[in-house]
Chain A
Amino acid sequence: MTAQSNHIPSESDLIKGCIDADPQMQRLLYDRFSSMMYAVCLRYSENTEDANDVLQEGFIKVYKSLHKFRAEGSFEGWIRRIFINTSIEHYRKKVKLYHVTEVQENTIEDDSLDALDSLAAKDIMNIINELSPGYKQVFNMHVIEGYSHKEIADMLGITEGTSKSQLARAKGVLKKIIETRVENSKKSR
């Protein structure tokens, strides 16, 4: 049951091996989840350098916290949550969240974001990364990860109203970015 033997260990074997600090199992766990979690880190970080730091920090946390995993949910979901929290912590260390005034949630329909559907994931990532860090966090957490505003408020240490406001503004900015891109593509034709 080693990396060299090409045998794919089960999730529980991976977890047990990592708890026992088996280097081969640690490497296998990294290989299995690193690409997925790196994408998460890129979505939440301002730049690739920060994403690399968060990825490294996140995996260390995963290895250290594996004994706490109770298998009550999916293992991937548990790891993803660690990386999201690590991204938030990393961001908090660098910048304080923008203090925005609470406003009524902008009624920007999600339909306005349908234009994103036609784009490749990498292009969508590039557009999302144009958002400011505060907007990007709330947008990712609510739209992509599916957290409620209450959960976001708890995790980010903000009010639900602030979370809603940030999301509305993020959608507004995204809409403008998409419109600009569409206009530019029309012009280029």
Chain B
Amino acid sequence: MQDFKNKLYNYETPPPEETWDHIAEELQNEKVINLHTHKKSKFLFYGATAAASVVIIFVGSLFFKKNKESKSTANIVSTHELLAEKIKDSINLNQKILESIIHNPQEKKEIISKNPTQNTSKKYLTVANPEGQPVKISPKVATLIISADNEFPPRPVWNKKINKWQKIMLASTISPTSVNFIDLIQLAANSENIE
């Protein structure tokens, strides 16, 4: 029959009276904690955490931004300074080379060889354009640069060269005609002589 199973399953016995008082008290405490302390403290905790996170992120971003800016500014300044120094050095060296080309072409090689480290990169001369930007030019046309520079007027240089060419060509046995370059030079020389 096994009725004892049902008897035990459905068995009821009243608990001690004070049990409900303990439960009610505990529920009341839970309620107080939930409504006031617990929720408030939780709210405060999450709020404080969120605020702290925002402050940390803000300060961090400011710090990194400032750091980055100062670094980049420093980099730009140092790059500019370095570039300016290089340009200055380069222009000084170029100036010497140009002067040597004009006054004493034999010294060109010597001046360049005095600074071998720069010399390797001096296949071209670096000069500053009117805007201050570095421009590379061949040493062969250095005199043309000088012609653009008021310190070294171009005309005497070119005149010297033209006179030299004139002497060479006049001394040649080729008869001048009006259709070639030599004739033109001769005509120019004759007109100068007339003047």
Contacts and interface: CB of A to CB of B under 8 A. Distances in A.
Given A39-B12, A114-B2, A125-B8, A63 B27 contact: yes
A21 B16 CA distance: 23
A15 interface: no
A128 interface: yes
A30 B9 contact: no
A38 B9 CA distance: 12
Contact of A117 (B2, B10, B11, B15): B2
Contacts of B161: none
Nearest to A27: B20
B61 to A, nearest CB: 42
Contact of B15 (A52, A125, A145): A52
A113 B2 contact: yes
A63 B27 CA distance: 9
A121 B22 contact: no
Contact of A60 (B3, B7, B27): B27
Interface in A124-153: 124-125, 128, 140, 143-145
Max count, chain A CB within 10 A of own CB: residue among B4, B10, B27: B4
B24 interface: yes
B141 interface: no
Interface range for B: 20 to 34
Interface string A167-187: 000000000000000000000
A34 interface: yes
A39 B10 CA distance: 9
Contacts, number: 79
A12 B12 CA distance: 23
Contacts of A140: 8
Contact of A38 (B5, B10, B14, B31): B14
Interface residues of A, number: 35
Given A114-B1, A116-B4, A117-B2, A59 B9 contact: no
Given A56-B19, A114-B1, A21 B31 contact: yes
A156 to B, nearest CB: 19
A119 B10 CA distance: 14
A125 B15 CA distance: 15
Contacts of A26: 24, 27
Q: Lowest 8 CB-CB distances: which A-B pairs, in order?
A: A116-B4, A35-B12, A38-B15, A121-B7, A121-B11, A117-B3, A39-B11, A36-B12
17 contacts: A26-B24, A30-B20, A34-B14, A38-B13, A38-B15, A39-B11, A42-B13, A43-B8, A55-B15, A56-B23, A60-B23, A113-B2, A117-B2, A117-B3, A117-B4, A119-B4, A143-B5
Interface of A: 21, 23, 26-27, 30, 34-36, 38-39, 42-43, 52, 55-56, 59-60, 63-64, 110, 113-114, 116-117, 119-122, 124-125, 128, 140, 143-145
Given A27-B20, A144-B8, 11 more contacts: A30-B23, A34-B15, A34-B19, A38-B14, A39-B12, A43-B8, A43-B11, A114-B1, A117-B4, A121-B4, A124-B4
